[in-house]
């Protein structure tokens, strides 16, 4: 049975992860991208109890910057007795995705493929002479740059276009006969991010050092001066989407602040 295509009515419900694959589920799982997608509301009315609530934008991050990239994750799945043929169909579907998003973004979108999984479908006690059935899954991301001079409304229009393309009901490839497996597809909500977070590492390190020094100065005493000890190498920079205008960057640093030992 073909899975329903998910709709995404809210462009502000931005996923917290960076552009990446949605991960694979067991072939028996009834949905794709279930962790990052959501359904359309039952009623568009804004009156009475259904009035919208003011959203909370969690401004987490050591440094708040403007995003320069928006991504739409997607996943495609097809079952069949021929894994290579299924993969060829998925490739054609991916090309259709590129064409649709390219038309909606004036050719600015780029489709990046991320993962592939081929597994054997287990359907109870099958006869030994029956050919195996394969489940082929691929995932990727459509990436569109956000112009530095694009204001809030220009960015909102772009995200609206991406959501509309994701909800296009037209099949990505010609439908197979009714008795044959159908292509399953799902798109995630748009994700905003900074394409090159490493460009902000020096500023993040500087801010961390300033905060740590301020803390040490406030906590130490003349008889027990504090200093950094046992520092691990800085980790990768993490990103937290706040809005279509803001992304929070954080640099996890593991250091211990300890009393300075006198040199014998």
Domain of 98: which CATH number? 3.30.70
Is 45 within the bounds of a domain? no
- 124 and 165 in a single domain? The answer is yes
Instruction: Say yes or no: 112 and 184 in one domain.
Output: yes
- Pick from 195, 224, 249: which residue ends a domain? 195
User: Do residue 72 and residue 173 come from a single domain?
Assistant: yes
| pLDDT tens digits in sequence order for the chain, 264 residues long | 343 333 333 333 343 344 664 444 444 433 455 443 323 333 333 445 567 777 777 777 889 999 999 999 999 999 999 999 999 999 999 999 999 999 999 999 999 999 999 998 865 555 556 778 899 999 999 999 999 999 999 999 999 999 999 999 999 999 888 878 889 999 999 999 999 999 999 999 888 878 877 776 776 655 566 666 667 777 889 999 999 999 999 988 777 665 556 555
Q: Are residues 182 and 247 in the same domain?
A: no
Contact call for residues 25 and 37 (beta carbons, < 8 A): no
33 part of a folded domain: no
Whether 37 is in a domain gets the answer: no
B/e letters for 65-90, b = 16+ CB within 10 Å, e = fewer, are: bebbbbbbbbbbbbbbeebeebbebb
143 in a structural domain: yes
Q: Say whether both 164 and 143 belong to one domain.
A: yes
> Given the DSSP bridges, would you call strands 247-250 and 191-193 parallel, antiparallel or unpaired?
unpaired
CA dist., res. 199 & res. 196, Å (int) = 6
Number of structural domains found in the chain: 2
For residues 86 and 176, membership in a common domain is answered with yes
Q: Are residues 188 and 71 in the same domain?
A: yes
The answer to the question of residue 139 being in a domain is yes
Predicted local distance difference test score (pLDDT) of residue 231? 72
Angle between helices 152-166 and 83-104 (to 10 degrees): 150
Whether residues 126 and 216 fall in one domain: no
Domain extent, residue 250, equals 198-259
Q: 71 lies in a domain? A: yes
Question: pLDDT value at position 135?
Answer: 94
Q: Mark whether 170 and 120 lie in a shared domain.
A: yes
Domain contains 182: yes
Q: Which candidate, 141, 17, 159, 3, places its Cα nearest to that of 73? A: 141
Q: 87 vs 41, 77, 95, 117, 134, CA distance in Å?
A: 34, 9, 12, 10, 10
At residue 132, the pLDDT reads 85
pLDDT of residue 4: 37
Q: Exposed e or buried b for every residue in 9-36, given b needs 16+ CB within 10 A?
A: eebeebbebbbbbbebbebeeeebbeeb
- What per-residue confidence (pLDDT) applies to 35? 40
* Residue 235 shares a structural domain with residue 168: no
> Which among 171, 195, 219 is the end of a domain?
195
Both 177 and 222 in one domain: the answer is no
Identify the three-state secondary structure at position 183.
coil
Structural domain contains residue 96? yes
User: Which pLDDT does position 234 carry in this prediction?
Assistant: 72
Q: Same domain, yes or no, for 134 and 190? A: yes
């Amino acid at each position: 049975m073909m899975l329903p295509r998910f709709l995404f009515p809210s462009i502000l419900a931005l996923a917290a992860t960076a552009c990446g694959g949605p991960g694979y589920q067991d072939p028996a799982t009834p949905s794709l991208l279930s962790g990052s997608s959501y359904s359309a509301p039952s009623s568009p009315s804004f009156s009475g109890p259904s009035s919208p609530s003011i959203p909370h934008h969690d401004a987490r991050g050591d440094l708040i910057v403007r995003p320069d990239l928006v991504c739409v994750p997607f996943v495609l799945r097809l079952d069949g007795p021929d894994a290579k043929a299924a993969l060829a169909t998925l490739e054609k579907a991916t090309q259709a995705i590129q064409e649709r998003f390219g038309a909606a973004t004036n050719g600015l979108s780029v489709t990046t493929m991320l993962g592939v999984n081929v597994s054997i479908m287990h359907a109870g006690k099958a006869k030994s002479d029956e050919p195996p059935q394969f489940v082929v899954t691929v995932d990727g991301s459509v990436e569109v740059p956000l112009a530095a001079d694009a204001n809030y409304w220009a960015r909102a229009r772009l995200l609206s276009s991406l959501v509309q393309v994701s909800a296009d009901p037209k099949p990505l490839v010609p439908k197979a006969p009714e008795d044959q497996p159908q292509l399953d597809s799902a798109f995630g909500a748009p994700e905003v991010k900074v394409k090159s977070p490493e460009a902000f590492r020096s500023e993040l390190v500087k801010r961390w050092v300033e905060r740590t020094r301020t803390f040490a100065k406030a906590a130490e005493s003349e008889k027990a001066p504090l200093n950094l000890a046992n520092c691990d190498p800085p980790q990768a920079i993490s990103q937290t989407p706040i809005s279509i205008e803001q992304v929070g960057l954080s640099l996890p640093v593991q250091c211990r602040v300890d009393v300075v030992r006198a040199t014998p």
